[in-house]
Amino acid sequence: MLSGLRVLVVEDDPAIATDVADLIERAEGVVVGPVGSLQEARALIKGEALDAAVLDVNLSDGDVTPVLEALRARGVALVVYTGSDALPDGISERHPYLTVLKKPVQPGRLMAEIQRAVRGAPAG
């Protein structure tokens, strides 16, 4: 399903991070991370080739906006997977086609949205 795609997982809840990573691996994707903080994510993305990312919004050390912006600028396909009711200010306006899923969703839906984002991920 994900056939070797490199997918970054940014999630601060260890149980959810493990579940998402397991789903990606079962779909034949390559998990990068998971990482649970903004600081870890920023450090990791500097040297990694990525096809997609699954991002939680609210991390222990801040919201994921800087990582989301950096990945979008590189043309990485993004799926926001959050328990929050709203995205940080300006994200929806700057990225109107961003895929946002509210936790929890069915595993098949998450995998389908990652695939869809990869197929249609516009840069910027």
Average pLDDT value for residue range 11-22? 96
Considering only the top CATH level, what class is 6-120?
alpha beta
pLDDT of residue 1: 85
pTM (predicted TM-score): 0.92
Which residues partner with 40 through β-bridges?
Answer: none
DSSP string, 25-50: HHTT-EEEEEE-SHHHHHHHHHS---
Q: Which amino acid is at 87?
A: L
Hey, where are the domains in the chain? 6-120
**In the chain, % of residues over pLDDT 90:** 80
Integer Cα distance of 120 and 98 in angstroms: 11
What is the gyration radius of the CA atoms in the chain, in angstroms? 13
DSSP three-state, residue 59:
strand
Dump pLDDT digits (tens) for 67-109.
999 999 999 999 999 988 878 888 888 888 889 999 999 999 9
> What kind and span of H or E run contains 65?
helix 65-73
Q: Which amino acid is at 80?
A: V
Q: How many CB atoms lie within 10 A of CB 93?
A: 8
